[in-house]
Structures are given as C-alpha cells and as structure tokens.
Structure 1
Amino acid sequence: MLKKIWGKIAVYLLVGYINFVYRTSKIIIYGDKEVLTQENREKVIALFWHGDTYCLYPALKGSKLYVAVTRDRRGDYIAGICNYFGYHTIRIPDTSDGGNYLFKIRDIVNNKDVSNLAISLDGPLGPYHVPKDFSFVTALLTKRKLMPVAISVKRKIEFRKRWDNYKLPLPFNEIILGFHEPIEVSSADKAERFESIKRRVKMLMEDQSIEKEQSFL
C-alpha cells in the first residue's frame, strides 16, 4: 500500500515538474509532428532514446500514442506519466519471452482504433545509444514506417551513472524536437540484420544540425 501511495506521489511530482519546465521554456519543433496525431492516415512508430524520455512527454500530449513500457516497477512510474499525458501503454518484458508480445503489440495497435506507437530505440536496458532490433522487427510486423525523433536540450542535468545518461531538463530552457521523415523498413533490411537502417536512424536521432546550433546562440 505504501509503495502504491509513494508511486502516485512520485508521478504527481514528475508530471508537475515537466509541465513547469515546458511552460517556462522555449519549445522549438521542426519536421511534421502532425504525422503522430490520431487523425493522420498513415500510422508510424516514433523512435526516441531512453535517456530523452522525460524531455518528450508533454510534446505529444493528447496524441493517443501507444507507448511500449516494461512490466517492472520502473515501468509503473513511466505508465503513470504516460497516462497523464493521454498516451496508452503496452507493458512488455525487459527481455524476450519468446516473442509472443510482438504479436500482442501488433493486435493492439492494428485494431479498429489503429494507432501510432512509440518505442525507445536503445531499449529498456541499453547499452547507451545502441539501436535494438525490437523497433525494426515491430515495424515489419505492424507494417509501419519509423519516425526518428531528435531531441536537444540547452540546459539539463545528466545522470551519468545511469546507462542511458538520463536527462533532466531545467526550467527557463530551450528544447528542440526534430521529427524526421518516416523511414520504411523492408525485408532486405531484415536480411542484413538491420545494420544499414540502424546507422541511418541513429545518425538522424543524434543530429547536431546547424539549425540547432544556431538556435542556441
């Protein structure tokens, strides 16, 4: 009971803080985030780095995304935050349980309320910024393109002792979100173990374009 109460308090504080950060910060968005709205005809899988999760929550509020979240206690906190911002969560294991959960994900997002999906590219356990096969296999199975999301935060605290260098954005900040053109995953990509498409997606998500650098000047 105490754990549940503490969990609700923690979610309340985390949600309150990130809302405050967004209200006091300049949020710059480039690319077409409208692709991720429920009304958009083509459905995609949005990709983000695990360490950027907290910076992204408010940006797509109300988009009714399905977010893949682990089943552990850590996942309980994330699910609570997702629910507040209007996302749906699909609870999955940290590691494969035989792959059946992939078909469950397909069935959920391909039902009559066909929806977009969001997945952390480097998974729940890392290593840092190493793309996992899960996103690409899911894209093939659900017949969705991948939309890499690049996130830059001018002022932040990074938790370097965590594998994902988790970022805590500070108030009165500048946050830049880049929604890249969706990329199709093919059987040819699978045949080469997704190596080329992994490099391409990683490059986009670690984008340090002139636009971003200029905006911080």
Structure 2
Amino acid sequence: MLKKLGKHPLVMKLAGTAMAYYLLFVYKSSKLTIDPPEVYEEHEEGAPFIASMWHGQHFMLPFACPKHWDIRVMISRSADGEMQAVCASKLGLGTIRAAGAQRSNQIKKRGGMRGFIEAVRVLKAGATVSMTADVPKGPARKAGKGIVQLAKHSGRPLLPVAMATSRHYDLDTWDKASINLPFSHIGLCFGKPIPVPADASDEQVEEIRQRLENSMNEITDKAYAIAKSGK
C-alpha cells in the first residue's frame, strides 16, 4: 500500500516540487565558481550542444546553463524519473522521457529509441540536450556509446559538464549519488566541445567515447577541487 502510494502522481508532483525548491535553496545559499570563467560567451555561437554529465553528480546541473538557452534534459520513465522530471520542469527545463540501457531487451522498455529520435529532432531544432554519459546500472563514470552516437547523428558536439558542492552527502548507490547541501562552495566546470563526424567509423566512435570519458573525469575532479578550495 505504502509502495503504491509513493508512486502516486500527486506524491511524485509534490516530491519533485520540494526537490526543486531544495536545489534552488542550495544554489542561492552557495558561492559559485565557473571554470573557465568566460565559457558562456565562448560557446554562445556553438550551441546547441549535447551536455554530458555523470549519473549521481547531476542534481545541481539545472543551474549550469544560461537561462536563455533552450535545455531539454533526458530523464528515465521510472518513478524516480517522474519526480526528477517535475523538478526539472519547475526549474525551467524541458524533458525527454527516456533512458539508456546495457542490454538490447531493455532499450524498448526504457524508451531508448524513441528518446534518441526525439533528442535528434530537438537538437536540429536548436535546443541543447542534457543527458548522463554513463548507463544504469553501471559501471559508474564509464561513458556509453549512445551519447556519442547521438552526436554523430545530430551533428551537434558533446559538451562535458561537471558541478560539485563543498558540502555533500554521498549515497551508497551504484553511481555514488551526491546529495548537495546548502551553504557550500560550488565548482562548475566545462570541458572543451567534442565534435563527432557524421561518417565516424566504429573505431572513431570508440576513440571519442574514451576521450569524452577522460574529459568528464578530469572536469569532475576539477569541480570537486574548486569546491573544496573555496576559490
């Protein structure tokens, strides 16, 4: 009974709204440092992008992009995803309800192909798509090929993004999800855009996947270092 109640649409809406206000409080009560500092001006003409982030480190990322950018975040169709979709909407983001999968029989269930087609469509229409690079349920911080294939078929570059807070609580989950706490120092870091040729071979896709993974890990470590240093 309680389990069913927890998945009720009204409960999900209330939880998502509370989550949005909580994250806004964390953001407003914290000091932000962006690296590189002129990243928005530098990338204005290069948009839209495929903003790439790690699972479990993504909760503060609704505040990572300028408000005038059209952002669509890819969120799973699970109960947790429903709550996050409400949260994203409250914070001004559009959503694409889909998720990646490790096995082919999971792709249809999670709406992977439909989400891929929708993501290509909105990217070509001028919206930036934000999504996690690693695929549930792990391994964490290992980029999948799906996000690289999206860049290949849409013609839009990958943009690695990482955001960390000095005060946080890490959960014992596959992705080591980090719950950001208020009155923190926030480190927001961007990697260099990574283009993917439309005619990229399987070998090139793998090389770019590894390049993305390395960049993501580098900027994630940098975001935590900035947050910890308070500079």
Query: Structure 2, unaligned stretches of length 5 or more?
Result: 102-106
- Mapped to 2, the partners of 1:84 and 1:187 lie a distance apart of 35
Match of 1:150, SS state, is: strand
- Mapped to 2, the partners of 1:46 and 1:109 lie a distance apart of 11
Aligned residue type for 2:27: Y
Match of 1:200, SS state, is: helix
Q: Hey, which bits of structure 1, 4+ residues long, moved more than 6 A?
A: none
Q: CA deviation at 1:177?
A: 0.7
The alignment yields a C-alpha RMSD, in angstroms, of 2.7
Q: CA deviation at 1:173?
A: 0.5
The answer to whether structure 1 residue 115 and structure 2 residue 127 are counterparts is: yes
Contact 1:61 1:87 in 2 (8 A): no
Match of 1:199, SS state, is: helix
Aligned-pair identity in percent equals 26
- What is residue 177 of structure 2 aligned with on the other side? 166
Count of aligned pairs:
212
The answer to whether structure 1 residue 75 and structure 2 residue 81 are counterparts is: yes
Contact 1:25 1:173 in 2 (8 A): yes
Contact 1:51 1:166 in 2 (8 A): yes
The answer to whether structure 1 residue 87 and structure 2 residue 93 are counterparts is: yes
The answer to whether structure 1 residue 24 and structure 2 residue 29 are counterparts is: yes
The answer to whether structure 1 residue 134 and structure 2 residue 146 are counterparts is: yes
- What is residue 104 of structure 1 aligned with on the other side? 118
Q: CA deviation at 1:25?
A: 0.8
- What is residue 156 of structure 1 aligned with on the other side? 168
- Mapped to 2, the partners of 1:127 and 1:214 lie a distance apart of 26
Query: Structure 1, unaligned stretches of length 5 or more?
Result: none
* 2:206 paired residue among 192, 195, 206: 195
Give per-residue Cα distances to partners, 1:104-159, cap 9 Å, x unaligned.
Answer: 32123323xx2111110113432211111110000011101000012232221000
TM-score under structure 1 normalisation? 0.85
- Mapped to 2, the partners of 1:183 and 1:157 lie a distance apart of 31
- What is residue 197 of structure 2 aligned with on the other side? 186
